[in-house]
Amino acid sequence: MDKKNFIKDFVSEKNMGDGRESCLMIALENARVLNRRDKDGNSFSIDICEKLDGLIEFESFIGLANYLLILDMIGVVFTKQKRVGKRIAEVLKKFGNVTCEKERKAICSLRNCLAHNYGLADDQNKIKFKFILDNTCNEMIKHSIVDWDGNYCDKEESTSTTINPRKLIDKIEDTYCEVKKQVFAGTLNTNMSVNELESRFTIKNELIK
């Protein structure tokens, strides 16, 4: 398969043929199901609590973390940035139309919190964040009134950044759709070789041959 068609399959087909599966599509399917979304149509129709007897709670951290890791994967494949923060920022700006730099930093910081510590506070960078996740928030991201200084004795909401997970997930879905659209339009490609992409971001599943 030539590189152009390989990339198209990578962003659109879980089963890419010859027993090979796209890690991007696996991650997207998993993230959707863990957030009670249909794995194909992305409508709210799956009750993961019933399917797993309540072992995983609705709106679980792992579902949101999956979506944030998808941003990072897109960044690795479709940008030249080496650092995770710069990758995610470029993906959000270029494909997600997130024009506010502080919003991009908050999303990247939330990714780091969940991926590294499965928590909601990040004091490792110049701009520090502690988060509140709230699906009733009218905005995708509501910035803190006062910047948090990393003091864990500070429990004030005024120093917390509130994120609406559903709105953020919708934004990531829109970002993925824009990437897919540009790939199929022939305006987006990757600097990776097919061999590197196969090795890093696809898996072989002999059962689906």
Q: What's the confidence (pLDDT) of residue 206?
A: 63
Contacts of 167 (CB under 8 A, 6+ apart): 137, 139, 140
| Identity at 192, one-letter amino acid code | M
- How does pLDDT run across 162-206, given as a tens digit for each residue? 999 989 999 999 999 999 999 999 999 999 999 999 999 999 876
- Higher per-residue confidence, 54 vs 129: 129
C-alpha 195/C-alpha 202 separation (Å) is 10
Is the predicted pLDDT of residue 207 greater than 60, yes or no?
no
16-55 burial: b if 16+ Cβ within 10 Å, else e: beeebbbbbbbbbbbbbbbbbbeeeebeeebebeeeeeee
Is the model's pLDDT at 53 over the cut of 80? no
Q: Over pLDDT 90: what percentage of the chain?
A: 72
Q: pLDDT grade, residue 148 (50/70/90)?
A: very high
**Percent of the chain residues past pLDDT 70, beyond the cut:** 87
* CA distances from residue 3 to 95, 183, 186, 195 in whole angstroms, order as listed: 21, 11, 12, 10
Looking at every residue in the chain, the average pLDDT score rounds to: 88
- pLDDT recorded at residue 164: 93
Q: In this predicted structure, what is the pLDDT of residue 109?
A: 94
For the four alpha carbons of 112, 116, 118 and 121, in that order, the dihedral sign comes to negative
Calculate mean pLDDT across residues 78-89.
Answer: 93
pLDDT in tens, 21-44: 999 999 998 888 887 777 665 666
Q: Which pLDDT belongs to residue 51?
A: 54
Cα distance from N-terminal residue to C-terminal residue, the chain: 16
Tell how strand 129-133 and strand 161-163 pair up.
Answer: parallel
Nearest 10 degrees: Cα torsion 5, 10, 12, 13: 100
The tokens of 37 are what? 């979304």
- pLDDT at residue 61, as a whole number: 84
| Count of Cβ atoms closer than 10 Å to residue 61 Cβ | 17
Query: Where residue 62 falls among pLDDT bands split at 50, 70, 90?
Result: confident
Query: In 139-192, which residue ranges form alpha helices assigned H by DSSP?
Result: 165-185
